[in-house]
């Protein structure tokens, strides 16, 4: 099967051809896809008109003459084109911000595990909008992708050989008789998840996701892809960052994949005592008088208030009300993180009580959906046992 090489041949034809030649020389078939938005024919294997025709509005919706709308439409068309291919061994793209915006959505739409690599001028900056929850490899181009020179030849050759190696050496699929289970974790809920994995590893392939915004999105991408049998969403701290402006926010679609798929899910309130910011000096001015904890030189945590916890509880409860599959919300009444324990910086029973009361008042119990309060700390082994037992019951093997 071929590797697809994608980019705009009207501006980067030489570089794209160079990469295609190196991939073929490595013994891997390659197809060059032209994503130029001018509509002009090129020497590529797949012409821009072929890709543009995949847009719901046809090629005329792509070749508008307006660069902004044309790039957005071509990105949509390319996503539809590439996800329809049955012969895809991998996808590599080259470009600046525009070229990266053309290929990244298509890569995000591909399944986890399909080789994906972008050589880009923006790879040393904030790449979260391009990568999202996918397994895209980003390589910084060093020089602009504007002709072949002593630097670009080396960088592009490394990229070509990397994607060729990924395609030629597909890891063997192992027979796995354990269903996959998604679990969310933060440093301050690590003991809970460690206990949980110990209890469930014999029966489940436990996939742990770091709750840094993208981590939750990655887990829910696998839920939507039906690659998980269920979820134990221990650490929902990303909601705090969404509502209070922290640096690790979820999207407004948090818990949406669970609602859409109706997979069995146990949800808890891990690390909702904190909002995450960067270095201390980056904390917004409006929060400077709050209880702040310097986790390390790069991370500052802010304790959530009773009012904020009431707001979070209502938001989570409302979202969980859309979940019609088997779901249990489990509340650890004695604390929601390592820092929320007697003698620790964020111990605040009143703030926790506001969160729990809000959840209890908003969540609508049904035959499938229930709330359970346990007189334990989230990192107590007994609470992990409760999470594990509850999930096994929901999954039908308790």
The model's pTM is 0.76
User: Do 66 and 202 belong together in one domain?
Assistant: no
Task: Give the three-state DSSP class for 50.
Answer: helix
How confident is the model over 294-311, as a mean pLDDT?
A: 94
β strands within the chain, DSSP E = 3-7, 30-34, 90-95, 116-120, 137-140, 180-185, 205-210, 230-233, 265-267, 274-277, 292-296, 299-303, 327-332, 369-374
Does residue 398 carry a pLDDT above 80? no
Does residue 363 carry a pLDDT above 80? yes
User: Do 161 and 264 belong together in one domain?
Assistant: no
Please check whether residue 311 lies inside any domain of the structure. yes
Q: What is the model's pLDDT at position 174?
A: 64
Q: What percent of the chain has pLDDT over 90?
A: 80
User: Do 332 and 263 belong together in one domain?
Assistant: yes
Identify which of 368, 365, 364, 376 has the alpha carbon closest to the alpha carbon of residue 395. Answer: 368
Domain termination residue (choose one: 142, 168, 194): 168
pLDDT tens, 20-42? 999 999 999 999 999 998 888 88
Provide the residue range defining the domain that includes 68: 3-168
* Residue 152 φ/ψ, nearest 5 degrees: -65, -35
Q: What is the model's pLDDT at position 267?
A: 98
For 218, how many CA atoms within 13 A lie in the half-sphere containing its CB?
22
User: Do 158 and 203 belong together in one domain?
Assistant: no
Q: What is the model's pLDDT at position 320?
A: 98
pLDDT confidence tier of residue 7, bands split at 50, 70 and 90: very high
User: Do 71 and 220 belong together in one domain?
Assistant: no
Identify which of 16, 103, 10, 14 has the alpha carbon closest to the alpha carbon of residue 63. Answer: 10
Does residue 161 carry a pLDDT above 70? yes
- Alpha-carbon radius of gyration of the chain: 24
User: Do 152 and 212 belong together in one domain?
Assistant: no
Please check whether residue 193 lies inside any domain of the structure. yes
What distance in Å separates the CA atoms of residue 362 and residue 98, rounded to the nearest whole number?
44
Cα dihedral sign for 129, 130, 133, 137?
Answer: negative
How confident is the model over 254-271, as a mean pLDDT?
A: 97
Please tell me the total count of domains within the chain.
2
User: Do 337 and 194 belong together in one domain?
Assistant: yes
pLDDT tens, 109-137? 998 889 999 999 988 888 888 888 889 99
Domain termination residue (choose one: 124, 147, 168): 168
User: Do 125 and 262 belong together in one domain?
Assistant: no
How confident is the model over 285-300, as a mean pLDDT?
A: 92
User: Do 76 and 152 belong together in one domain?
Assistant: yes
Domain termination residue (choose one: 168, 195, 220): 168
Does residue 65 carry a pLDDT above 90? no
What distance in Å separates the CA atoms of residue 295 and residue 303, rounded to the nearest whole number?
12
CATH, residue 360: 3.40.50.12030
β-pairing, 3-7 vs 90-95, is parallel
**Average pLDDT value over all residues in the chain:** 93
User: Do 368 and 245 belong together in one domain?
Assistant: yes
């Amino acid at each position: 099967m071929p590797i697809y090489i994608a980019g705009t041949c009207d501006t980067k034809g030489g570089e794209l051809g160079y990469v295609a030649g190196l991939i073929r020389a490595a013994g891997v078939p390659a197809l060059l896809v032209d994503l130029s938005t001018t509509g002009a024919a090129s020497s590529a294997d797949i012409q821009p008109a072929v890709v543009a025709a995949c847009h719901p509005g046809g090629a005329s919706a792509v070749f508008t003459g307006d660069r902004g709308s044309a790039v957005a439409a071509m990105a949509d068309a390319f996503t539809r084109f590439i996800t329809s291919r049955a012969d895809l061994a991998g996808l590599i793209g080259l470009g600046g911000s525009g070229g990266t915006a053309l290929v990244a959505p298509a890569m995000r739409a591909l399944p986890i595990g399909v080789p994906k690599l972008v050589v880009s001028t923006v790879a040393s900056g904030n790449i979260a909008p391009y990568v999202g929850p996918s397994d895209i490899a980003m390589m910084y181009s060093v020089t602009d992708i504007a002709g072949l020179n002593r630097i670009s030849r080396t960088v592009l050759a490394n990229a070509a050989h990397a994607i060729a190696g990924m395609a030629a050496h597909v890891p063997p699929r192992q027979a796995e008789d354990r269903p996959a289970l998604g679990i969310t974790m933060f440093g301050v809920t690590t003991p809970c998840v460690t206990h949980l994995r110990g209890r469930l590893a014999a029966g489940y392939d436990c996939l742990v996701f770091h709750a840094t915004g993208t981590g939750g999105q990655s887990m829910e991408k696998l839920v939507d892809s039906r690659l998980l049998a269920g979820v134990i969403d221990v650490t929902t701290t990303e909601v705090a960052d969404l509502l209070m402006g922290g640096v690790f926010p979820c999207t407004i679609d948090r818990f949406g994949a669970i609602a859409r798929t109706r997979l069995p899910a146990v949800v808890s309130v891990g690390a909702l005592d904190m909002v995450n910011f960067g270095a201390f000096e980056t904390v917004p001015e409006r929060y400077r008088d709050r209880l702040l904890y310097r986790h390390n030189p790069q991370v500052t945590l802010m304790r959530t208030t009773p009012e904020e916890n009431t707001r979070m509880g209502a938001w989570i409860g409302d979202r969980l009300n859309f979940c019609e599959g088997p779901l249990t919300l489990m509340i650890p009444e004695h604390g929601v993180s390592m820092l929320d324990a007697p003698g620790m910086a964020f111990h605040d029973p009143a703030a926790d009580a506001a969160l729990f009361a809000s959840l209890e008042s908003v969540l609508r119990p049904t035959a499938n959906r229930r709330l359970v309060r346990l007189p334990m700390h989230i990192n107590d082994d007994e609470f992990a046992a409760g999470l594990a037992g509850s999930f096994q019951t929901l999954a039908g093997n308790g």
